């Protein structure tokens, strides 16, 4: 078995965003088979000894933000912006050459930087680097620009068609759902390998411990309260108003709706609307993002900080009424922590997850009396609930586990090396 130096390239590998989390899972599988992963990005929380942080490659870099302001929402760009864009791209290309040379990289894995134009100069730099070197590259695409209305009107269509993603012979494309796979083929003629998001279902979550025992009290709940968890950011596409309506219609004062994440970068108007809706419908709605972090710790005020896994562990039911998802990590997490879940039948769920036979409570854009009654049944019938979550867990072991990712990565790496390395 031959070990390889793998270079992960993106705008950010830090925190708990989906790209960072999935990249870490890929690196873990590769590491299990002696491949060593190195990291290149504009923002990093990886070991400095195996990483190269280039601030100009971060999508919140000032120069990049100025470029984005000038090229989105308009149809033409100035010569000055074109020059700035290519100058920054040339600089970043040079840093990619440095990264590959410093760590003796043999295979590059580009995470989302060649599909969604959050950082156009970086996408251009990567494209030019691959074109100049023929470098073996796996391009892992989580979101395409044509899926987001914010990029529909732009002055860089020429660059988007060239670099997001590029069509080069040394690139293997990876998509995370079948719709993206079909769209990529239809728009660019490029084939791709579908690699779904995964969790370690072979191992399973850790058992409850002393840290989670007092969590309900720490976030202001009584021991007999029923915790319905909305494990998402507070953005409109998450459909949190449906979760509020569900709790209202359950008509049980013990039911509390807890939201784990904050608003993100889309403003607070939706958050304000949700709070007003909850008050009007008499729903106990709590936002606990200030108590949830990446690791367990005690903050400067002496309060415990919990992980998202801790929140899942104490939840009784998961609400997931999203209008759109690229895949649905929170749904997999609900299955992983053996929790029943309400799902709004978003398109990727319908195409890639539902046909596997998962047992969830489904809604089609709106709540019905049957949906509410089914949620009530799951909350009250322990035997029914246990049968449901056990069934879902076993399905995930077959279709969304690390073993699935291991097989997919083996094929991708073997295509470059000619030998099975995983």
Residues 6+ apart with CB under 8 A from 399: 196, 356
In this predicted structure, the answer to whether residue 15 has a pLDDT above a threshold of 80 is no
**Average pLDDT score, the chain:** 94
Q: 5-198+402-417 and 210-399: same fold?
A: yes
- The CATH number of the domain covering residues in 5-198+402-417: 3.40.50.2000
Half-sphere exposure of 129 (CA within 13 A, CB side): 26
Q: Residue 1: pLDDT above 70? A: no
d(CA 39, CA 25): 14
pLDDT score of 264: 62
Given a cut of 60, whether residue 91 has pLDDT beyond it is yes
Backbone angles phi, psi at 52, to 5 degrees: -130, 110
- The DSSP secondary-structure symbol of 174 reads E
Q: How far apart are CA 246 and CA 300, in angstroms?
A: 36
| Cα-Cα-Cα-Cα dihedral sign, residues 177, 178, 179, 182 | positive
- State residue 265's pLDDT score: 56
pLDDT tier for residue 96 given thresholds of 50, 70 and 90: very high
Segment 161-218, tens digit of pLDDT: 999 999 999 999 999 999 999 999 999 999 999 999 999 999 989 888 888 888 999 9
The confidence score (pLDDT) of residue 381 equals: 97
- Report the pLDDT value the prediction gives residue 267, as an integer from 0 to 100: 66
Distance CA 373, CA 108 (A): 50
CA distance 293 to 297: 8
DSSP secondary structure code for residue 287 in this structure: E
Q: Which candidate, 38, 103, 23, 29, places its Cα nearest to that of 421?
A: 29
Q: What are phi and psi of 247, to 5 degrees?
A: -60, -40
Rounded to 5 degrees, φ, ψ at 72 are: -110, 140
Give the rounded percent of residues in the chain with a pLDDT score beyond 90: 83
Q: Quick one: which of 364, 104, 134, 129 has its CA closest to 239? A: 364
pLDDT over 90 at 131, yes or no: yes
The pLDDT value given to residue 421: 56
Q: What pLDDT does residue 326 have?
A: 81
pLDDT beyond 60 at 64: yes
Q: Quick one: average pLDDT of 126-153? A: 96
What would the mean pLDDT of 132-139 be, rounded to a whole number?
A: 98
pLDDT of residue 144 exceeding 90, the answer is yes
Sign of the CA dihedral with 49 first, then 50, 56, and 62 last? negative
Task: Say whether pLDDT at 292 is over 80.
Answer: yes
- Summarised one tens digit per residue, pLDDT across range 297-342 is 888 888 889 999 999 999 999 999 999 888 888 999 999 999 999 9
**Per-residue pLDDT at 80:** 97
Tokens 């998450």 -> residue: 238
**Separation of CA 139 from chain center:** 16
Sign of CA dihedral 240, 241, 244, 245: negative
Lowest mean pLDDT among 8-22, 269-283, 370-384: 8-22
What pLDDT score does 105 carry?
A: 98
| Model confidence at 420: pLDDT above 90 | no
Per-residue DSSP letters for 399-415? HSSHHHHHHHHHHHHHH
> Domain spans of the chain?
5-198+402-417, 210-399
**Mean pLDDT calculated for residue range 44-48:** 94
- The answer to whether the CB of 64 falls within 8 A of the CB of 56 is yes
CATH top class, domain 210-399:
alpha beta
| Beta pairing class for 304-305 and 297-298 | antiparallel
pLDDT score of 266: 59
Residue 176: its pLDDT value, please?
94
Element (H, E) at 259: strand 255-259
> For the residues 286-290, what does the mean pLDDT come to?
92
Over residues 359-375, the mean pLDDT reads 96
Its sign, for the CA torsion 259, 263, 266, 268, is positive
Would you call 44 helix, strand, or coil by DSSP?
strand
How far, CA to CA in Å, does 166 sit from each of 15, 141, 171, 412?
A: 28, 12, 8, 18
pLDDT at 3: 85
Q: Name the DSSP letter for residue 152.
A: S
């Amino acid at each position: 078995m031959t070990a390889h130096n793998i270079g992960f390239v993106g705008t950010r590998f830090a925190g708990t965003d989906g790209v960072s989390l999935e990249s870490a899972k890929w690196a873990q599988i590769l590491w299990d088979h002696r491949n060593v992963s190195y990291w290149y990005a504009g923002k990093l929380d990886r070991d400095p000894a195996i990483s190269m942080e280039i601030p100009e490659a971060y999508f919140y870099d000032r120069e990049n933000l100025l470029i984005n302001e000038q090229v989105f929402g308009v149809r033409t760009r100035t010569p000055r912006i074109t020059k700035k864009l290519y100058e920054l791209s040339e600089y970043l290309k040079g840093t990619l050459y440095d990264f590959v040379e410093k760590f003796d990289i043999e295979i590059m894995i580009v995470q989302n930087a060649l599909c969604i134009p959050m950082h156009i100069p970086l996408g251009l730099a990567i494209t030019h680097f691959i074109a100049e070197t023929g470098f073996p590259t796996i391009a892992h695409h989580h979101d395409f620009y044509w899926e987001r209305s914010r990029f529909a009107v732009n002055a860089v269509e020429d660059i988007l068609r060239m670099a997001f993603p590029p069509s080069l012979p040394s690139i293997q494309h990876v998509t995370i759902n079948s719709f993206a796979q079909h769209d990529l083929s239809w728009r660019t003629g490029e084939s791709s390998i579908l690699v779904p998001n995964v969790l370690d279902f072979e191992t399973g979550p850790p058992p409850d411990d002393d840290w989670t025992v007092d969590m309900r009290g720490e976030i202001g709940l009584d021991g007999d309260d029923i915790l319905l968890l909305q494990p998402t950011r507070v953005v409109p596409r998450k459909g949190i108003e449906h979760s509020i309506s569900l709790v209202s219609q359950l008509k049980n004062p013990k039911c509390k709706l807890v939201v784990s994440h904050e608003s993100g970068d889309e403003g607070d108007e939706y958050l304000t609307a949700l709070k007003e809706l909850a008050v009007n419908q008499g729903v106990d709605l709590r936002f606990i993002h200030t108590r949830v972090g990446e690791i367990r710790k005690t903050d400067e005020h002496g309060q415990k900080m919990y992980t998202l896994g801790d929140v899942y562990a104490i939840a009784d039911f998961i609400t997931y009424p999203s209008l759109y998802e690229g895949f649905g990590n929170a749904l997999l997490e609900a299955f992983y922590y053996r929790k029943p879940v309400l799902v709004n039948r978003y398109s990727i769920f319908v195409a890639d997850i539902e046909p596997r036979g998962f047992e969830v409570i489904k809604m089609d854009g709106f709540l019905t009396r049957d949906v509410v009654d089914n949620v009530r049944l799951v909350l009250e019938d322990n035997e029914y609930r246990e049968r449901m979550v056990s069934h879902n867990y076993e399905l995930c072991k077959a279709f969304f586990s690390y073993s699935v990712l291991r097989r997919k990565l083996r094929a991708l790496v073997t295509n470059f090396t000619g030998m099975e390395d995983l």
